[in-house]
Amino acid sequence: MRSALLVEKDPAVRLALLRMLGRRGWWVDAPAGAEGALALLGQAPRDVALIDWSADDGAGLALLAAIKMDPVWHAMPVVMMHRGATLAEVGRAFELGANDFLPKPFTGEEALRKLNRWVIDQAGSPDHAPAK
């Protein structure tokens, strides 16, 4: 089963993603914020993280940086989300180690494609071909 860490400040978006991914066979943890996300990562690894830039009033970038600097979690792919991001903001996310970026608003299918792109199955090959 694929697993994801979802950090999203908007309760409606969080619930919609939880439902959609759950129906697609994903196990998703959605902590209240960045601090909760770090605590969950300490309990069990996840295949991928989907993080809202503005989670906890901007703590999404700090969470990204903490994940990418950690010797255990640094290899976990991170997809950042943000509404109205400038090119400079997207560039900053990539500088901090983001693997991908999902601009808001997005459809459930767009989110699923982004996550599937980064999930590797047990045999070490991508579950799905990279999105184009």
Answer whether 7's CB lies under 8 Å from 37's CB: yes
Query: Are residues 46 and 76 in contact, defined by beta-carbon separation less than 8 angstroms?
Result: yes
pTM for this one? 0.85
The average pLDDT across 80-107 equals 90
Q: pLDDT tens digits, residue range 10-57?
A: 899 999 999 999 999 999 999 878 888 888 888 888 999 999 987 766
How many angstroms separate the CA atoms of 32 and 38, rounded? 11
Q: Is the pLDDT of residue 58 over 90?
A: no
pLDDT band with cut points at 50, 70 and 90 for residue 101: very high
CATH of region 3-118, choose from 3.40.50.2300, 3.20.20.70, 3.40.710.10, 3.90.79.10: 3.40.50.2300
Q: Domain spans of the chain?
A: 3-118
Q: How far apart are CA 111 and CA 17, in angstroms?
A: 8
Strand 27-29 versus strand 78-83 pairing type: unpaired
- Is 121 or 102 the better-scoring residue by pLDDT? 102
Q: What is the pLDDT of residue 124?
A: 52
